[in-house]
Amino acid sequence: MSNSAILLIHCPDQAGLVAEVTEFVHKNRGNILDLDQHVDRELNHFFMRVEWDLDGFLIPREKINDYFETLIGKAYNMKWQLHLTERKPRMAIFVSKASHCLYDLLQRYGTGEFDCEITAIVGNHKQLEYIADRFEIPFHYLPITRDTKQAQEERTDALLRELGTDFIVLARYMQILSDNFCRQWPHRIINIHHSFLPAFKGARPYHNAFERGVKLIGATSHYVTADLDEGPIIAQAVEPVNHRHGIEDLKRIGKDVEKRVLSRAVYLQLQHLILPFGNRTIIFN
Amino acid sequence: MSNSAILLIHCPDQAGLVAEVTEFVHKNRGNILDLDQHVDRELNHFFMRVEWDLDGFLIPREKINDYFETLIGKAYNMKWQLHLTERKPRMAIFVSKASHCLYDLLQRYGTGEFDCEITAIVGNHKQLEYIADRFEIPFHYLPITRDTKQAQEERTDALLRELGTDFIVLARYMQILSDNFCRQWPHRIINIHHSFLPAFKGARPYHNAFERGVKLIGATSHYVTADLDEGPIIAQAVEPVNHRHGIEDLKRIGKDVEKRVLSRAVYLQLQHLILPFGNRTIIFN
Amino acid sequence: MSNSAILLIHCPDQAGLVAEVTEFVHKNRGNILDLDQHVDRELNHFFMRVEWDLDGFLIPREKINDYFETLIGKAYNMKWQLHLTERKPRMAIFVSKASHCLYDLLQRYGTGEFDCEITAIVGNHKQLEYIADRFEIPFHYLPITRDTKQAQEERTDALLRELGTDFIVLARYMQILSDNFCRQWPHRIINIHHSFLPAFKGARPYHNAFERGVKLIGATSHYVTADLDEGPIIAQAVEPVNHRHGIEDLKRIGKDVEKRVLSRAVYLQLQHLILPFGNRTIIFN
Amino acid sequence: MSNSAILLIHCPDQAGLVAEVTEFVHKNRGNILDLDQHVDRELNHFFMRVEWDLDGFLIPREKINDYFETLIGKAYNMKWQLHLTERKPRMAIFVSKASHCLYDLLQRYGTGEFDCEITAIVGNHKQLEYIADRFEIPFHYLPITRDTKQAQEERTDALLRELGTDFIVLARYMQILSDNFCRQWPHRIINIHHSFLPAFKGARPYHNAFERGVKLIGATSHYVTADLDEGPIIAQAVEPVNHRHGIEDLKRIGKDVEKRVLSRAVYLQLQHLILPFGNRTIIFN
């Protein structure tokens, strides 16, 4: 059983930051398992991820946050997240009608590749309920009309919080979330866009890619912000296409890229390897 | 010594096109070396590339075009290009100050990978003249100011025609060609744009890619049309980047992608493997 | 509804082959939808795939084979396969304990990406029966011991023939098929090997890849022959790995490559795009 | 002007290593620019790369090594390399007749992408002397026969040492270095092998790849050890090939992969990003 702590830290750069943090861990008898740091020279900003073994660590886990704040965090004006690996991340999945990403996520969950709990599958259509059933995960049918959008989002938000959800994965969910909802889940909603952003934002990217005659099609996973398709990018990939491929082929090939890119983002999220900053992400991998 | 003929054909689709063309070659004792065809189902348009051995072919090479037109081309409303491999394509290269693409092209030329003649290297700056000298290729320094642009383009056009140039490669040439010049060389100017089009059109794509926090950077080779960065795409490629890469790293990594993508386009052009149609390209490879 | 015929042909090269075949189709009022041919210059051997619309084709479908043999095939010493797209290919899947490839295949089948019938899932272990149940496909538990191997293969062979199976997919099936069984299903068994063949043949390729310190790991799909891991290769892909990746990471990353490469081979098989010849494959794509 | 120090360290893992090293830098007023560490869980071995700014660092650069040994290195049984960025690495290049890798390296050197000195180009043939001349780098023609091999290697070794050479790049050098020579330059000779090792070791890898019908061809850069093609791998890459590609095409496509993979290894070497350990490499990138 994994029993370690992970700190994701960022702050304005200054001398001695790495030494301070490693001393904090070391003096309290924590053994560092992994350390990665990065300084953005243009922004003069410091980023760090450190993981250490909690066996024999002197500070009780419920007090680590306080001690870190008092001893280091405040003094250096740091922002940080603390994650304990003994707690499994809790993920919700939103779907509409397309099944490929949902199947892919559930398969990885079913085989233990994703070490998490799935709190709920939320669909604004009923079509994929049978897949949730096959995997024995609760499916919540929450249809949306223009009139019910706000109410549905509030209901969804309440449901997810009640279930102790940490983050949401939009697995080809074909509804635009309200600004308000996005702001409730900052850096906690992961979307898959079916193009290589910033090319082909918005709807029908495969049609647009076909029209433009591109030789590669791609997919982009990103955190959702109030600006559609503009949130921090987590992962991207492409596949070659050629003149033999019609729009249906682009969609077929694209589905594979979407699955790969979305599952990569979810994996990074579950491993606490992503540190978003402004409109970019630091991926400690 | 290669001694074959290549026909690149397109026309509205109808039954029997492949049979007609292959019969034309076969009845005149040409042996087909390579045949590839494609029908665009959405446009109902037919595309074909056929190469055959000219040894023993009954029609003299200077009359092939006429015979083909009379016997087949006219009847089916075809458009076509005829290329004889015994004639080496004649290429000009335009440069400004960046040397990586020029070096790469000359190296491939020098080692025989590109089977062509280089008629001229044209620079609007003098910086790269020494490279032309090293490879013993004539360098023409033709500087441009806003006032001299039209005159310079006319002079360049005259020079290239005098030298029997078939097509032009813009090897990171940092001048926008006039609409008029572009129209003089339709599907005969190949550019390399240092982004994965249609993302990051225009100037400073690496800066923009950095700002957007993309996880892949790319390059695009395309035919130049009057619409900047909008011509038919020939080849594209990408390379992964991450948060450790500053703008200078993106430029460094990008240079490699640019070289690869531009040389691929030139290779396809030299092998007569590209058939442009509307804003797309059929690559018979 | 698709209603076309596909011929996969090969024979010693000679002049006029393309013309003969296209004439055969054209004169009988078949419209060619797709044609691709290839001549191996080192072997002087000719390969061709042609697909034509059967609407209005003069030869009844049950006689196409005879007519083709009489009119062309015999004269040119051709070998060929004829496929009619109205008949869905019938595929069996063999599994042991690893679920990722099975899930991936079933998901593609479930979403219509694979246009085929699945006649049976055969397992030498019971572990994956529940997945077959979820997708409502008959699961046959046929355990193997050294003593029962021959009997089990005979039983399996009989079962598959009774179900009208066209080809078999080994989805990480951890048994070596007997030479005899392999010979019964020539070019009709597709395996996924979890390495970039010919590197790391045999068992435990990820361990061996780790030991060797490679920077890419791969997977290979191939037709099964009596020579283990030596059959004609259909598809290959790789993914980058680095020193951070332990053996479990290689397995995790490798699973994704395996899924991708196996599903690609199955897709090509279903579309009749593969022509095996000696120890190589022509992929008309 | 860059003015920093880089330590590449490895030792048996134990608690507090990162804290010790960062404290050493910090207490002596060095600002850490970059830190990356890795623990191999299977070998229980620790690896680290740390770079810090030397401006204001209290220990004079000529004494850093001594101080580090006394204060830390000895106590923890560390092995380490210290590099100062103010000193440009000094590289020699060995060639035979193939020019593509040599051209590629020189082009990167010429454009400033490689920040190093080239001490010599050594050829056992004269064919590429003109390229050295073009770039104004001394070319040493040192032919080899079975009888002169030992003498030539001794002469080469003496020459390289006299020129203060740090490491050697074999740019498609077609001679097998003696065990003795290899041992003189441990982890200081970089080779490019024209296959995806461990597939297709030895001579004629493209022929073997063609025979086996692989769908990807590759290249591998590695440190040279006495065991041919068995040294620690630094970088690998592949490119797709298909049935249309004859052996000459594989060679042509392969050249591009070779250039890319060799230049990547040289870049990593110049940036002191490689830490070899046993038969593997840690690449801090």
Between chains, do B197 and A214 touch, taking CB under 8 Å as contact? yes
Q: Rounded mean pLDDT of D81-108?
A: 96
pLDDT in tens, D16-25: 899 999 999 9
Residue B161 Cα to chain centre, angstroms: 17
- The yes-or-no verdict on residue C133 having pLDDT over 70 is yes
* Chain B residues lying within 8 Å of D260, measured CB to CB: 256, 260
CA distance D129 to chain A (A): 40
Task: Give the minimum alpha-carbon distance from B272 to chain C in angstroms, rounded to a whole number.
Answer: 17
Say yes or no to pLDDT of A227 above 90.
Answer: no
User: Using an 8 Å Cβ cutoff, are C18 and C50 in contact?
Assistant: no
Percent of chain D with pLDDT over 90: 89
Residue C253 sits at φ, ψ, to 5 deg, of -65, -40
Residue A102: CA count within 13 A, CB half-sphere: 27
Chain centroid to CA B75: 29
Residue A56 zone, left/alpha/beta (φ > 0; ψ -120 to 50; rest): left
Adjacent-strand bridge partners of C83: C6
Which residues in chain D (190-249) have CB-CB distances under 8 A to chain C?
196-200, 211-216, 218, 232-238, 242-244, 246-247
Residues A18, D16: C-beta atoms closer than 8 Å: no
Tokens of D248: 């000459």
The pLDDT of residue B41 is: 83
Provide the token pair at D166. Answer: 């740090």
**What count of other Cβ atoms lies within 10 Å of the Cβ of residue C166?**
19
CA distance A52 to A74: 21
In angstroms, what separates the C-alpha of C9 from chain D's closest C-alpha? 15
pLDDT at B1: 59
- The whole-number pLDDT of residue C236 equals 97
Q: What is the pLDDT of residues C192-228, one digit of tens each?
A: 999 999 999 888 999 999 999 999 999 999 999 988 7
Same domain, C43 and C121: no
Question: Count of CB atoms within 10 A of residue C7's CB?
Answer: 24
A229 is catalytic: yes
Q: Give me the CATH number covering residue D24.
A: 3.30.70.260
Residue B111 pLDDT class (50, 70, 90 cuts): confident
**Over pLDDT 70: what percentage of chain A?**
100
Residue B285's pLDDT band (boundaries 50, 70, 90)?
confident
> How many angstroms separate the CA atoms of C6 and B269, rounded?
32
Test C16 with B26 for CB contact under 8 angstroms: yes
- The three-class DSSP label of residue D102 is helix
Is residue C2 predicted with pLDDT exceeding 80? no
CB contact under 8 A, A252 and C113: yes
* Interface mutation vs chain A, best among B197, B216, B222, B229, most A CBs within 10 Å: B216
With contact defined as beta carbons under 8 Å apart, do D18 and D284 qualify?
A: no
B45: closest CA among B82, B79, B22? Answer: B79
* CA-based nearest residue to B254, from B227, B218, B210, B230: B218
Cα–Cα distance measured from residue C239 to residue C235, given in angstroms and rounded to the nearest whole number:
14
C222: closest CA among C153, C273, C281?
C281
Give the distance between the most distant pair of CA atoms in chain B.
Answer: 63
Phi-psi region of A213 (alpha: psi -120 to 50; beta: other; left: phi over 0): left
Question: Do residues A275 and A8 touch, judged by C-beta distance below 8 A?
Answer: yes
Asked whether the beta carbons of residue B103 and residue D113 sit closer than 8 angstroms, the reply is: no
Rounded to an integer, what distance in angstroms lies between the CA atom of residue C202 and that of residue C213?
18
Whether residues D265 and D199 fall in one domain: yes
On average, the pLDDT of chain D sits at 94
Does A18 sit within 8 Å of D22, measured CB to CB?
Answer: yes
Span C249-257, average pLDDT? 95
A271 touches A114 (CB < 8 A): no
Contact D128, D97 (CB under 8 A): yes
The average pLDDT across A249-275 equals 97
Instruction: Please give the ipTM for the structure prediction.
Output: 0.93
Q: How many CB atoms lie within 10 A of CB D97?
A: 13
Over residues C50-57, the mean pLDDT reads 95
Cβ atoms of residues C153 and C175 within 8 Å: no
Min CA distance, B90 vs chain C (Å)? 28
State the average pLDDT over residues C126-150.
Answer: 95
Of A15, A33, A39, the CB nearest to D39: A33
B61, B84 in Cβ contact below 8 A?
yes
Tokens describing residue C66:
């005879």
pLDDT given at position C210: 93
| Residues B44-73 pLDDT 10s | 999 999 999 999 999 999 999 999 999 999
Instruction: Give me the pLDDT at residue D285, please.
Output: 83
Task: Single out the residue of A89, A15, A68 nearest to residue A46, CA to CA.
Answer: A15
DSSP state of B30: P
From D38, D67, D84, the end of a domain falls on: D84
What confidence tier does A228 reach under pLDDT thresholds 50, 70, 90? confident
A37 and A118 share a domain?
no
Which pLDDT does position B203 carry in this prediction? 86
Please, are residues B237 and B261 in contact by the beta-carbon 8 Å criterion? Answer: yes
Q: Give the gyration radius of chain B's Cα atoms.
A: 21
The pTM for the full model equals 0.95
Determine the average pLDDT of the residues in D73-94.
97
Query: Phi and psi dihedrals of B279, rounded to 5?
Result: -100, 20
Question: Which one of C20, C25, C32 would you mutate to disrupt binding with B, by most B Cβ within 10 Å of its Cβ?
Answer: C32
Tokens representing A2? 């994994």
Whether residue C219 contacts residue C263, with contact meaning beta carbons closer than 8 Å, is answered with no
The predicted structure's pLDDT at residue C49: 96
Q: Is C183 exposed, middle or buried (0-12, 13-18, 19+ CB in 10 A)?
A: exposed
Q: Which two tokens stand for residue D185?
A: 């330059």
**Which positions in chain C touch B39 (Cβ < 8 Å)?**
33-34
Q: Do D107 and B100 touch (CB under 8 A)?
A: yes
**Do A168 and A279 share a domain, yes or no?**
yes
Q: What is the mean pLDDT of residues D211-225?
A: 96
Cβ atoms of residues C247 and D40 within 8 Å: no
The alpha-helical segments, DSSP class H, found in chain B are: 17-27, 64-68, 100-110, 129-134, 149-162, 179-184, 205-212, 247-270
Peptide bond into C198 cis (omega under 30): yes
Indicate the residue of B26, B34, B38 with minimum beta-carbon distance to C19.
B26
Q: Which chains touch B (3+ CB pairs under 8 A)?
A: A, C, D
Give B243's contacts in chain A (Cβ within 8 Å): 38, 40, 47, 280-283
Write out pLDDT tens, residues D33-80.
889 999 988 889 999 999 999 999 999 999 999 999 999 999 999 999
Q: What angle do CA A46, A47, A52 make, to 5 degrees?
A: 130
Domain that holds residue B26: 4-84
With 80 as the cut, is the pLDDT of residue D117 above it? yes
**Taking residues D126-152, what's their average pLDDT?**
95
Question: Which residue of chain C has the CA closest to D216?
Answer: C236
Number of neighbouring beta carbons within 10 Å of residue D57: 18
The two three-digit tokens of residue D111, written as one number: 């454009």
Nearest by Cα to D15 from C17, A25, C142, C14: A25
Record: contact C18-B15, CB cut-off 8 A? no
Q: What is the CATH number of the domain that holds C262?
A: 3.40.50.170
Q: D53, D157, D229, D249: which one is catalytic?
A: D229
Three-state secondary structure call for residue C17: helix
Comparing alpha-carbon positions, the chain B residue that sits nearest to C24 is: B19
D37 and D106 share one domain? no
Looking at residue D62, the DSSP 8-state letter turns out to be G
C145 and C195 share one domain: yes
Query: To probe the interface with A, which of C111, C129, C262, C270 has the most A CB atoms within 10 Å?
Result: C111
Encoded amino acid at B180, one letter: N
Sequence-ordered list of residues with C-beta below 8 angstroms from that of B67, at least 6 positions apart, any chain: B59
The token duo for C261 is: 């490469």
Which of D282, D58, D13, D274 shows the shortest CA–CA distance to D167?
Answer: D274
Residue A229: is its pLDDT beyond 90? no
Residue C240: list chain A partners with CB under 8 A.
none
The answer to whether D26 contacts A39, with C-beta atoms less than 8 Å apart, is no
Decide: A220 and A196 in contact? Cβ < 8 Å: yes
Mean pLDDT in residue range C56-84? 97
| In a shared domain, residues A156 and A206 | yes
Select from D15, D16, D22 the least CA-distant residue to D7. D22
Task: List the one residue out of C236, C227, C197, C254 whose CA is nearest residue D199.
Answer: C197
Same domain, A172 and A214: yes
Q: C15 pLDDT band (50/70/90 cuts)?
A: confident
D137 versus A110: the higher-pLDDT residue is: D137
**pLDDT averaged over chain B?**
95
pLDDT band at C243 (very low <50, low <70, confident <90, very high): very high
User: Nearest Cα to A33, choosing from C15, D152, D149, D17?
Assistant: D17
Which residue on chain A is closest to D37 by alpha carbon? A35
pLDDT of residue D1: 59
In the structure encoding, which two tokens stand for residue D231, read together?
């040294």
Q: Does the pLDDT of residue A1 top 70, yes or no?
A: no
* Cβ-proximal residues to D154 (8 Å cutoff; 6+ apart), any chain: none
Angle at D209 between CA D206 and CA D210, to 5 degrees: 85
Structure tokens at A119: 């709190």
> B210 is written with which tokens?
């950095």
| Residue position matching structure tokens 């049609």 | A207
Report the number of distinct structural domains present in chain C: 2
Instruction: Tell me the average pLDDT across D275-281.
Output: 94
Whether the per-residue pLDDT at A153 is higher than 70: the answer is yes
Separation CA A168–CA A177 (nearest Å): 12
pLDDT for residue A275 is more than 70: yes
Position C1 scores a pLDDT of: 60
The Cβ of residue D253 has, within 10 Å, a number of other Cβ atoms equal to 16
State which of C84, C119, C138 marks the end of a domain: C84
CB D238 within 8 A of CB C238: yes
Cβ–Cβ of A16/D26 closer than 8 Å? yes
CA B203 vs CA A215, B194, B199, B247: distances in Å = 22, 9, 12, 14
How far C26 CA sits from the closest chain D CA (Å)?
27
Neighbours of D68 (CB within 10 A): 21
B17 and B145 co-located in one domain: no
Band the pLDDT of D271: cuts 50, 70, 90: very high
Shortest Cα–Cα distance, C77 to chain A (Å): 31
Alpha-carbon distance of C89 to C165, in angstroms, equals 8
Out of B13, B115, B157, B229, the active site residue is: B229
Q: Are residues C79 and C94 in the same domain?
A: no
Task: Test D34 with A36 for CB contact under 8 angstroms.
Answer: no
- pLDDT surpasses 90 at C67: yes
Round the average pLDDT of chain A to a whole number and report it: 95
Which residues between 4 and 63 in chain D have a beta carbon less than 8 angstroms from any beta carbon of chain A? 15-19, 22-23, 25-26, 29, 31-39
Q: Output DSSP code: residue A82.
A: E
Task: With CB atoms and an 8 Å threshold, state whether B196 touches A216.
Answer: yes
Q: What value does the CA radius of gyration of chain D take, rounded to a whole number of Å?
A: 21
Question: Both tokens of residue A85?
Answer: 């690996």
Q: How far apart are CA D198 and CA D208, in angstroms?
A: 13
User: Alpha-carbon distance A97 to D155, whole Å?
Assistant: 73
For residue A234, the chain B residue with the least C-alpha distance is B215
B54 and B4 in contact (C-beta within 8 Å)?
yes
Hey, which chains touch D, using 3+ CB pairs under 8 Å?
A, B, C
Query: For residue A25, how far is the Cα from the chain centroid?
Result: 27
d(CA A100, CA A122): 15
Q: Which of C97, C131, C134 to mutate to probe the A interface, most A CBs <10 Å?
A: C134
Assess whether A77 and A180 both reside in one domain: no
Are residues A76 and A130 both part of a single domain? Answer: no
Which pLDDT score, from 0 to 100, does residue D203 have?
86
Shortest alpha-carbon distance between residue B81 and chain C (Å)? 20
